[in-house]
Amino acid sequence: MPVTFFTPEHDALRASVRRFAEDELAPHADEWEEDFPDWVFKRAGELGFLGLTYPVEYGGQGADYFSTIVFAEEIGRCNNGGVALGLAVQSDMATTPINKFGTHEQREKYLAPCIAGDKIACLGISEPNAGSDVMNIETTATWDGGEWVINGRKIFITNGWRAHVMTLVAKTKRDGQPAGHSLFLIDTDTPGYTKTRKLDKVGMRSSDTAEIVFEDCRVPADALLGTEGEGFKHIMWELQGERLIGALAATSGAARMLEMTIRYAKEREAFGRPIASFQAIRHKIAEMATLVTAIREFAHYTAYRWNSGEYVVREISMAKLISGEIGCQIADECLQIFGGAGYSSDNPIQRGWRDMRVNRIGGGTDEIMREIIGKMEGL
């Protein structure tokens, strides 16, 4: 009997997410090239997709981890990577620390409305001078008069322009002395929190990406999320889940582009016959199908081990690295098979090609993944 990680319940969820992506979102893919409306979050919340694994008490579905994987694999059928990314940040990146480390009051105030799609969340990690080096972020939270005073700058923040709440990583200070990293929940309408610019990007264009500046932004003591000084450990835990979701999103994106390319190759004729009948094209497609299957199976098995409680940081890093690289390779080959038609801006294959590239950067670059793998190999 073949090994499967998915149940009939997962199959039903997959069909539901696919209908939402293909019927309600995909028709707007071109219209939403530069932005997408907030009602998408609300609709995803109504359908139960923003809290699949979160407690029922806060409006979640209480489902297992593979339900999140189903969502990550199917939501990309909206044919707009920026839309899928914005929803993924909401469902599996910015809110996961709130669920894991938040108090009951914090989860009621922030997690429940985010699950419902009434509030939009972003994750404040990346900085201009730190990038993937979380240990050396420069944003500080200084304890002063019973409040935390935040100063610093964040960049490349997905959902940052529209967000109502940010899950922030900052270096904490007490009595002027460093006290480790900590997480905070920041209402984006707090004085001293300023959205300075909305970034223009090559791909994922509909996903709003912002730069945020904190200037003496004062927040109450209960804005602290989790244990003071434990924020680095907390956020590195979150990053493992983010990287695994990223690997699965890249893999499923490559699979969808391959589906589109196979259909096109069967229909497009050259020299009196479909281009799929040429050995050069058939062999390219065969190789791409093999690579997609290999990285998908590896990502699923890694997700199974992660969900079982194993320490699979090495394997998650490998899945993130190989899925991003192969995803970009497949995107490029698919566009090549489409030829000039694929390079035209009215062909969805070009958007997939542009959107795919960020998978080798976001959530930890290829270079960082290689460093992690190398260290875990004893180098």
With pLDDT > 90 as the criterion, what percentage of the chain qualifies? 91
**What's the rounded Cα separation, in Å, for the pair 29 and 205?**
11
- Residues 367, 239, single domain; the answer is yes
Phi (first) and psi of residue 268, to 5 degrees: -75, 125
Residue at 1 is within a domain: no
Residue at 274 is within a domain: yes
- Residues 15, 113, single domain; the answer is yes
Residue at 3 is within a domain: no
Note the pLDDT tens digit of each residue in 61-81.
Answer: 999 999 999 999 999 999 999
- Residues 210, 276, single domain; the answer is no
- Residues 180, 73, single domain; the answer is no
Residue at 268 is within a domain: yes
**What's the rounded Cα separation, in Å, for the pair 109 and 60?**
14
**What's the rounded Cα separation, in Å, for the pair 73 and 92?**
13
CATH of residue 141's domain is 2.40.110.10
- Residues 82, 36, single domain; the answer is yes
pLDDT at 228 over 70: yes
- Residues 225, 239, single domain; the answer is no
Write down the pLDDT at residue 2. Answer: 47
Cα–Cα distance list, 293 to 69, 94, 288, 299, 326 (Å): 16, 29, 9, 10, 11
Q: Looking at residues 238-264, what average pLDDT do you find? A: 94
Rg (CA), the chain: 21
CATH of residue 28's domain is 1.10.540.10
Write down the pLDDT at residue 346. Answer: 87
Under the banding of pLDDT at 50, 70 and 90, the label for residue 171 is very high
Write down the pLDDT at residue 90. Answer: 97
- Residues 28, 58, single domain; the answer is yes
Q: Which residues are catalytic?
A: 242
Q: Looking at residues 242-269, what average pLDDT do you find? A: 96
Domain around 192 = 123-229
Total domains in the chain come to 3
pLDDT at 105 over 90: yes
Q: CB 137: neighbour CB atoms within 10 A?
A: 24
Element (H, E) at 104: helix 104-106
Residue at 69 is within a domain: yes
Residue at 264 is within a domain: yes
Cα–Cα distance list, 274 to 202, 278, 279, 336 (Å): 32, 8, 11, 16
pLDDT at 271 over 50: yes
CATH of residue 293's domain is 1.20.140.10
